[in-house]
Amino acid sequence: MPTAPSADSTLVLLTVEEAARRLRIGRTTCYSLIRSGELESITINNLRRVPADAPAAYVARQRGIR
């Protein structure tokens, strides 16, 4: 299995799988957060993408930091 590429700080959008890895959660849990509106995402041509800053914003909300 190939190793995961290092985090690219220039990315604007992440796949759901990349967002899940950043949050250290499973893909299914990440989709649940997206469906509930807790984790921001957008759709581009039927592809679900998560803004690169959305995982950190989600964690900040969970910690009560605005």
Average pLDDT over residues 43-55: 97
Amino acid in position 27: R
Q: Is residue 6 part of a domain?
A: no
> Does residue 40 lie in a domain region?
yes
Banded model confidence at residue 1, pLDDT cuts 50, 70, 90: very low
Cα radius of gyration rounded to whole Å, the chain: 12
9-32 tens-digit pLDDT: 788 999 999 999 999 999 999 999
Q: Is residue 66 part of a domain?
A: no
Q: Is residue 7 part of a domain?
A: no
User: Total domain count for the chain?
Assistant: 1
C-alpha 56/C-alpha 59 separation (Å) is 5
Instruction: Establish if 8 belongs to a structural domain.
Output: no
**Partners of 42 in the β-ladder:** 49
- Report whether pLDDT(57) > 70: yes
Note down the domain range covering 29.
Answer: 13-58
